[in-house]
Structure 1
């Protein structure tokens, strides 16, 4: 097993960081690694906003649901779906690309491009001995986040990435069985087997929480998912995305 695979398999979210900022050289290297990610048709439909201003970081922490590690870290990155630059180019080249920019397909391309870049950034940071935590909570208040970061139309802040020197070692959460995730040739639809795999995973997750919390938590994965999905969240998203000039067609 090589070092890259070892780093990937040892990933865990870090939510407490040392009071130590990343250097400009580290930030630049992480962004360059993000840019090395694959991109659909070379479109590069994303941007990254690095937030150094402490007041802004604290505001983002509040907007993300009082997540302190958004404010206290080595550096905070915000990954955005971005078709703004393409609209700028269209004005320069005098070509009408509105239909493409507002298509659901290009919205998906921008989201996928940003996600691929972010995972490269995360891997680069972890390979440097840093810890990371993705922050989806920014989507709780995208109108306010967009204003704070001064993003134009056709740019959507998708999620944040807290990066820094880990102040503690967190345990690695067990993932779904490989057999449940990986299908060959076609989607496996044996419902009996499917349910059994979930049950086995629920037992593993429950044992993980029992050991980690000394019995204070015993919840199963299925139980967690139903509690989360039972109450719809961020139902403003479709309207917000359309107002930003994405996915109107």
Structure 2
């Protein structure tokens, strides 16, 4: 196994950071390198908001349910946004009509932004930094948008906390690779397939404890009924749909004389 193989096999999420500052030039260089990730039509439909001061990180923290890694140590918070605004303004001043107020354009931006963020994550970790993806960005997109003063057509998608690791980390479990590869055509899973693929995950002591602590009978029940229940999914879906209507699908058109 090569050094690169080892890195990917052993990488882990870092949720606590030291007080060592991230050099500004290093951060800018990593962002620039990450911008060479693949992008739809070379449009680069993304931007990143850097929250580096304690005040800036504390301002964004409630939108992420005050998770401690947001304000931990001297880390920074990076909010990766789908940015259709910049592209549409470029079109506007060049007498071009951009038809980007639709789901397809949003997906362009989601793809671009995701690849950009993940390339940054990999580069940062290869330079000795630790990262944590926050799963709360799309839950509270309207609040994040307000805190960061995002205009129409700029949508927060991914948040990474970044800093120098304060402690050792635990590698998360993963499904066997045979469970995610489909040769030629999609092979649907039988009940026996599912039981085999998830057996190791379900047998981990921490997951057995997770089931017990939540008063459930199976790990699947914890995920589907406690962590990501239908009611919560539907509530946040409605919030997100309303927000997207307002800032993208039904946003005021950009005037050509701007």
Q: TM above 0.5, one fold?
A: yes
| Contact 1:48-1:78 within 8 A present in 2 as well | yes
Deviation for aligned residue 1:63: 1.5
Question: In the superposition, relative to structure 1, how do residues 81 and 153 fare at CA in structure 2: closer, same or farther (>3 Å)?
Answer: same
Deviation for aligned residue 1:4: 2.4
Aligned to 2:70: 70
| Contact 1:207-1:218 within 8 A present in 2 as well | no
Deviation for aligned residue 1:195: 2.2
Question: In the superposition, relative to structure 1, how do residues 53 and 27 fare at CA in structure 2: closer, same or farther (>3 Å)?
Answer: same
CA distance in 1, matches of 2:198, 2:2: 33
SS at match of 2:136: helix
Unaligned 5+ runs, structure 1: none
Residues 206-243 of structure 1, C-alpha deviations (whole Å, 9 max, x = no match): 335469x9x97998642332122323331211111121
| Alignment RMSD (CA, Å) | 2.4
**Residues 1:242 and 2:245 are matched in the alignment:** yes
| Contact 1:21-1:75 within 8 A present in 2 as well | no
Unaligned 5+ runs, structure 2: 252-258
CA distance in 1, matches of 2:250, 2:156: 15
Aligned to 2:31: 31
Misfit runs of 4+, over 6 Å: 215-219
Deviation for aligned residue 1:93: 1.1
Deviation for aligned residue 1:191: 1.4
SS at match of 2:137: helix
**Residues 1:222 and 2:225 are matched in the alignment:** no
Aligned to 1:15: 15
Question: In the superposition, relative to structure 1, how do residues 216 and 232 fare at CA in structure 2: closer, same or farther (>3 Å)?
Answer: closer
SS at match of 2:242: helix
Question: In the superposition, relative to structure 1, how do residues 210 and 169 fare at CA in structure 2: closer, same or farther (>3 Å)?
Answer: farther
Question: In the superposition, relative to structure 1, how do residues 136 and 196 fare at CA in structure 2: closer, same or farther (>3 Å)?
Answer: closer
Question: In the superposition, relative to structure 1, how do residues 185 and 161 fare at CA in structure 2: closer, same or farther (>3 Å)?
Answer: same
Q: How does 1:175-194 map to 2 (within 5 A)?
A: 175-194=174-193
Moved more, 187-196 or 149-158: 187-196
Deviation for aligned residue 1:144: 2.1
SS at match of 1:244: helix
What's the TM-score once normalised by structure 2's chain length?
Answer: 0.85
CA distance in 2, matches of 1:225, 1:90: 44
Deviation for aligned residue 1:123: 0.5
